[in-house]
């Protein structure tokens, strides 16, 4: 699959900035504006969603979990509708009833996100099986966290997808922690996603999720496998900047982050890596900064205008 690298980096960097800027806006307003929805930010790990969505067609389906602002926007979801939904306005993508954890836009085939741990993989398998039975040549992509990937329902979903030869990609967004518990707290020393997944008959691919180009390349391969009826698990290693939930950025005082320090997260920020990769490909730093500035200004203009018209649904 040949791509225009200039266009790829421009679109990817602008989308990373769009997701980040909109979430920073939400985080800033969270307490002052009394957002009643639970909030899970994707700041720091946007490259996973952006890289995967960059290889999908409009006909392909995506589904997400509790941390899905980035998935929704990267698939082409409507930014004003997302902001309305987070604030509980009836003009939101779920009528203001769902809040931050419920994103939906069937016009771009983002077919929903659900917050219950491990709940989205079986729904996505059902979606993929329906596409197959209806003769639709597409792939279904479902995003889940590393904690959800340890649930029995995930393994059952992979097994069912493999047995029915569904065109599906399970994207594990591994940001190291299930809430505040690390891998070593939750898994035996010999735990292996790869052995479990391949034992169920699926393809396993692991990649650095902080590098949008590497995610893009891995997603191309994953989509090719999935279209041939071989379910794929795309395991992305990511870094979330904030805590599991809420608007606060975690610093080095978060005692469960041993190696994952604030300095480490900043040095491995996906936007910084995207800029470096773009420069390596021949783009000028001034052009990249121009993209970043324009994307940030455009996003802030949109979300600020939406905020001025918020009419929170009466839930009394």
CA distances from 244 to 56, 79, 175 (A): 28, 23, 10
Instruction: Give the pLDDT confidence score for residue 112 in this predicted structure.
Output: 95
CATH topology of domain 5-308: Rossmann fold (3.40.50)
Characterise 284 by phi-psi region: left (phi > 0), alpha (psi -120 to 50), beta (else): beta
**Residue of 34, 5, 16, 8 lying closest to 209 (CA atoms):** 16
pLDDT in the model for residue 184: 63
Residue-range domain boundaries for the chain: 5-308
pLDDT (0 to 100) of residue 202? 95
- CA dihedral over 243, 245, 248, 254, signed as positive or negative: negative
Q: How far apart are CA 291 and CA 285, in angstroms?
A: 10
Contact 236, 172 (CB under 8 A): yes
Q: 174 is written with which tokens?
A: 């591994």
Phi then psi for residue 100, to 5 deg, are -55, -35
Strands 177-178 and 181-182: antiparallel
pLDDT tens sequence for the chain (316 residues): 557 888 999 999 999 999 999 999 999 988 877 787 889 999 999 999 999 999 999 999 999 999 999 999 999 999 999 999 999 999 999 999 999 999 999 999 999 999 998 999 999 999 999 999 999 999 999 999 998 898 899 999 999 999 999 999 999 999 877 766 766 667 777 778 888 889 999 999 999 999 999 999 999 999 999 999 999 999 999 998 887 887 877 776 677 777 778 888 889 999 999 999 999 999 999 999 999 999 999 999 999 999 999 887 655 4
Sign, CA dihedral 30-32-33-36, equals positive
105: DSSP letter: B
pLDDT of residue 188: 77
**Could you tell me which residues are beta bridge partners of residue 173?**
145, 236
Q: Tell me the whole-structure pTM to 2 decimals.
A: 0.93
Residue of 215, 209, 180, 182 lying closest to 45 (CA atoms)? 209
On the CB side of 145, CA atoms within 13 Å amount to 29
Nearest to 162 by CA among 225, 113, 96: 225
Q: β-strands 61-64, 110-113: how paired?
A: parallel
Tokens representing 32 are 């002052």
Helices (H), the chain: 5-29, 46-53, 69-74, 79-87, 120-133, 152-163, 183-186, 193-199, 212-227, 262-267, 270-280, 285-308
Residue 171 host element (H or E)? strand 168-174
Provide the token pair at 62: 């995506």
* β-pair partners for 178: 181
């Amino acid at each position: 699959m040949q791509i225009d690298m200039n266009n790829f980096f421009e679109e990817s960097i602008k989308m990373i900035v769009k997701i980040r800027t909109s979430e920073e806006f939400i985080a800033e307003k969270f307490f002052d504006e009394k957002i009643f929805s639970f909030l899970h930010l994707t700041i720091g790990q946007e490259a996973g969603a952006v890289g995967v969505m960059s290889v999908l067609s409009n006909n392909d389906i995506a589904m997400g979990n509790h941390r899905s602002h980035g998935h929704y926007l990267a698939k082409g979801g409507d930014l004003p509708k997302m902001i309305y939904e987070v604030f509980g306005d009836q003009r939101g993508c779920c009528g203001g009833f769902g809040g931050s954890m419920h994103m939906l836009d069937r016009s771009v085939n983002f077919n929903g996100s659900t917050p219950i741990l491990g709940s989205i993989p079986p729904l996505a398998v059902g979606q993929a099986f329906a596409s197959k039975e209806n003769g639709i040549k597409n792939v279904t992509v479902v995003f889940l966290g590393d904690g959800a990937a340890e649930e029995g329902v995930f393994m059952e979903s992979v097994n069912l997808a493999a047995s029915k030869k569904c065109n599906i990609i399970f994207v594990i967004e591994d940001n190291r922690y299930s809430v505040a518990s690390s891998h070593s707290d939750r898994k035996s020393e010999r735990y292996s996603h790869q052995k479990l997944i391949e034992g169920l008959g699926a393809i396993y691919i692991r990649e650095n999720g902080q590098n949008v180009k590497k995610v893009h390349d891995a997603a191309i391969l994953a989509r090719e496998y999935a279209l041939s009826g071989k379910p794929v698990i795309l395991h992305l290693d990511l870094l979330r900047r904030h805590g599991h939930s809420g608007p606060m950025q975690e610093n080095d005082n978060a005692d469960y982050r041993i190696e994952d320090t604030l300095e480490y997260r900043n040095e491995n920020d996906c936007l910084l890596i995207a800029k470096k990769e773009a420069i390596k490909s021949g783009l000028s730093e001034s052009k990249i900064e121009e993209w970043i500035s324009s994307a940030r200004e455009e996003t802030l203009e949109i979300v600020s205008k939406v905020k001025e018209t918020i009419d929170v649904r009466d839930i009394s």
